[in-house]
Amino acid sequence: MGNRHYLGGLTGLALALAPQLAHAQRASENATTQSSDAFGRSVGSEKTGLYNSDYVRGFDPVDAGNVRLEGLYFDQVDRVSTRLVDSNTIRVGPATLRYPFPAPTGLVDYALTQPHGKPIYSLNLEQGSSSARGLGGSFEFKQPLDGERLGISGGFGWRNAQRYEGGQTRYRTVGGTLAWRPRADTQVLLFAGDFIYRSDEATPTIYPQGAALPPQVKRGLDRSQAWAGRNQDIWTAGAVVKAPLAGMRVEAGLFYSLRDQTSVYADILAGTRADGSVTSRRIVADGNNRDGSLSGEARLVKQWQTGSFSHQLTASVRGRKRDRRFGGSQTLPLGPSSALLPDPRPEPVHVIGPKSQDRVRQLTYGLAWSVVSRHGYSLDAGVSTSTYRKRIDFADPALADPVTRDRPLLFNLGGSVNLTRDVLVYAGISHGQEEALIAPDVASNRAEAPAAIHTRQVEAGVKYAITPRLTLIAGGFRITKPYYNLDPALRYRQLGTLRNQGLELSLTGQLAPGLTLVGGTMLLDPRISGEAVDSHLIGLRPVGQIRRRSAANIDWRMQGGHGPLSFDVALESLSRRVGNAANTLYAPPRTTVNLGARYRFKLAGGDWLLRPVLLNAFNNYGWQVSTSGGFTYTSPRTFTLQLAADF
């Protein structure tokens, strides 16, 4: 029985890692069949699960700095070029077991696109997307240069689109990876890519007056200002080395992430009434901003066996050097306006002011130990110490230049027990350090960034293998961290402490041959405490939060999973969302259903995929609410068509 527990645990771990190890091509990508739980996975342009890189358990993991690339620490500034990554996985709950240095609020783990085996060339054409009308496409390749020893992958993509919120936009992506594998246990990866935005007009954001919802705005109507376009480049580059060393294994990565903004605007409709009239419309004009981070990690990993125990010891050094140029924006008042109709104005004369500098230096040393017993239990423990320094040099000489230092002791402790061959119980506690969100566009101290904050999480749950191919996960968590948002004077500052307490359910696997389900629900109880709540400056609930999120993806491939035709359904259901700091306004609940199909065929020596999808099939009208209380509407019913080919 003990050996069965041990083997069951290893099998479960292998299944959890399987999607990470798969290197699917565009014609065979399917996020539903490649997901091992319902906590979040992206493959190509498809997503499944409760969470994504923008939202995990009520927080943004990228803004918090909880990102890994090929398992190594990566301080991501902004989006990574889709020509560089095949997929990303959200790691919470049991997915953090045996994973060194997990973050309290979850991790986003990216997998690089790499050449493997035979040459592959992929063409992809798409009409329409979830956010815009227009034609887009990409060309990608994976080309061995010396068998499995040396290869290169990469490509480029483009989209010219008309956004549903209004405005034109042009996207371009480019990137490539060079992979060298001199031996089966050694790899060196070099990569670089760019995500390019041009003529991306600012979307009008509605800030309602009082407790009344904004009126329904006609979707697709261009209400933007033609001169308020965003032009920016997002660069990502780096190197990864993984190789044996003196009976151990070295894993190291050095990464650079840069957002270079030539021009950027925010379109704010403040004091919007229920009839669509706007008290004050203003454009925040900015530019010449630059946010770059050099980050990375080096690890030494030692594995050994003692009797019935398998051990892994990891020594790590993580660091980052982040420099941000910000400030100098100018607010352009346009006066009364309308949220319902186009209101084009001539571009006011404006000059971007002098820039402030934000510099962060951080170095973290850590030691993590993991032990797995063949008798069906495991233990993970880690401890880190960090030296953190943040300095802001304001361009305004009248402002003091703050310097923040911190030397936190960070830790994590977790484990699991196989109660039976099919039932595993897990639990964990962690204390971490992460970044607070930057002040939003509507704030009087726009773009200021607080110093790093301390976060704590406890979680526990059960994982039950209902069948060998169907798994249920049920767990609970509690996260606490400082709460930053706008005060009544629109200054962004700490207003108290936020506690997110919730339950998660995940049901994933095959219901029958060819029929795959990825379904889950999160129930969340977010609460703010502190002086701002006690004095009734703000309400108990944080702005933008929901109490329930449910998601389900069902994929049915004909002929028991081997036919050329498959059908899929994606459902997302959200509870009402807090719309203002006083908790007197709520965006209504909404449910969105997407209907799709895949037809696979061979032609001209290639594997082809024809994929039609009807997004928001029932044309649900809903509101998205930012953490600062800004309202934007959801996309309308949209038909998209994708044609992909791998040669």
Nearest CA to 399 out of 436, 358, 361 is that of 358
Tell me: pLDDT of 3 over 90: no
Q: How confident is the prediction for the chain on average, in pLDDT?
A: 91
pLDDT at 167: 72
Tell me: pLDDT of 510 over 80: yes
Three-class DSSP labels, 493-544? EEEEEEEEEEEEEEEEEEEECCEEEEEEEEEEEEEEECHHHHCCCCCCCCCC
What is the rounded average pLDDT of the residues 158-166? 79
Centre a 10 Å sphere on the Cβ of residue 310 and count the other Cβ atoms it contains.
Answer: 18
The strand pair at 107-112 and 67-69 is best described as parallel
Residue entry with tokens 């899929």: 568
What is the rounded average pLDDT of the residues 37-62? 92
- The rounded distance, in Å, linking the Cα atoms of 480 and 27 is 42
Q: What is the pLDDT of residues 553-579, one digit of tens each?
A: 999 999 999 999 999 999 999 999 999
Calculate the alpha carbon distances from 458 to 62, 461, 502 in Å: 21, 11, 11
Q: What is the pLDDT of residues 312-355, one digit of tens each?
A: 999 999 999 999 999 999 999 999 999 999 999 999 999 999 99
- The rounded distance, in Å, linking the Cα atoms of 178 and 182 is 13
Work out the pLDDT band at 130, boundaries 50, 70, 90. Answer: low
pLDDT at 82: 87
CA-based torsion, 622, 579, 165, 82: positive or negative: negative
pLDDT at 137: 86
Instruction: State which H helix or E strand residue 2 sits in.
Output: helix 2-21
Instruction: State which H helix or E strand residue 362 sits in.
Output: strand 356-373
Q: How many Å is the Cα radius of gyration of the chain?
A: 25
Domains and CATH numbers, the chain: 2-646 (2.40.170.20)
pLDDT at 297: 98
Cα diameter, the chain: 77
**SS3 (DSSP) at 357:** strand
Give every CB contact of residue 468 below 8 A, 6+ residues apart in sequence: none
What is the rounded average pLDDT of the residues 109-124? 86
Give every CB contact of residue 296 below 8 A, 6+ residues apart in sequence: 72, 73, 74, 238, 252, 253, 254, 255, 318, 319, 320
More reliable by pLDDT, 165 or 55: 55
Tell me: pLDDT of 290 over 90: yes
pLDDT at 435: 85
Q: Residue 39: exposed, middle, or buried by beta-carbon count in 10 A (0-12, 13-18, 19+)?
A: buried
558 phi, psi to nearest 5 deg: -65, 165
Tell me: pLDDT of 4 over 60: no
Label residue 199 left, alpha or beta by phi (over 0 means left) and psi (-120 to 50 means alpha).
Answer: left
Which residues share a beta bridge with 311?
304, 371
Tell me: pLDDT of 198 over 70: yes
pLDDT at 23: 44
- The rounded distance, in Å, linking the Cα atoms of 536 and 458 is 29
Work out the pLDDT band at 550, boundaries 50, 70, 90. Answer: very high
Helix boundaries (H) for 299-345: none
Percent of the chain with pLDDT over 70: 95
pLDDT at 215: 94
**Residue-wise DSSP of 410-478:** EEEEEEEEESSSSEEEEEEEEEEEEPPPPPPTTSTTTT--PPPEEEEEEEEEEEEEEETTEEEEEEEEE
- The rounded distance, in Å, linking the Cα atoms of 77 and 195 is 12
Question: Can you give the pTM of this predicted structure?
Answer: 0.91
Per the structure block, which two tokens stand in for 425?
């119980």
Q: What is the pLDDT of residues 6-24, one digit of tens each?
A: 333 333 333 333 333 334 4
Residue 98 is classified by DSSP as T
CA-based torsion, 479, 430, 19, 241: positive or negative: positive
Evaluate whether 287 touches 262 at the Cβ level (below 8 Å).
Answer: yes
What is the rounded average pLDDT of the residues 172-187? 95
What is the rounded average pLDDT of the residues 258-278? 96
Q: How far apart are the first and last CA of the chain?
A: 48
Residue entry with tokens 């490649």: 34
Tell me: pLDDT of 286 over 70: yes
Q: What is the pLDDT of residues 58-85, one digit of tens each?
A: 999 998 889 999 999 999 999 998 899 9
Q: What is the pLDDT of residues 427-466, one digit of tens each?
A: 999 999 998 888 988 888 888 888 889 999 999 999 999 9
Helix boundaries (H) for 22-65: 61-64
What is the rounded average pLDDT of the residues 138-142? 90
Calculate the alpha carbon distances from 190 to 151, 175, 630 in Å: 11, 11, 40
Per the structure block, which two tokens stand in for 56?
């995990």
pLDDT at 26: 66
Nearest CA to 383 out of 429, 425, 321 is that of 429
Q: What is the pLDDT of residues 390-422, one digit of tens each?
A: 999 999 998 899 999 999 999 999 999 999 999
Per the structure block, which two tokens stand in for 279?
């008290």
Tell me: pLDDT of 54 over 50: yes
Centre a 10 Å sphere on the Cβ of residue 411 and count the other Cβ atoms it contains.
Answer: 16
641 phi, psi to nearest 5 deg: -135, 125
Q: What is the pLDDT of residues 348-382, one digit of tens each?
A: 999 999 999 999 999 999 999 999 999 999 999 99
Residue entry with tokens 């990993």: 301
Tell me: pLDDT of 5 over 70: no
- The rounded distance, in Å, linking the Cα atoms of 69 and 53 is 13
- The rounded distance, in Å, linking the Cα atoms of 85 and 28 is 16
Tell me: pLDDT of 133 over 90: no
pLDDT at 379: 97
Calculate the alpha carbon distances from 562 to 231, 514, 525, 604 in Å: 45, 7, 43, 21
Nearest CA to 370 out of 101, 154, 69, 77 is that of 101
Which residues share a beta bridge with 601?
608
More reliable by pLDDT, 201 or 39: 39
More reliable by pLDDT, 604 or 589: 589
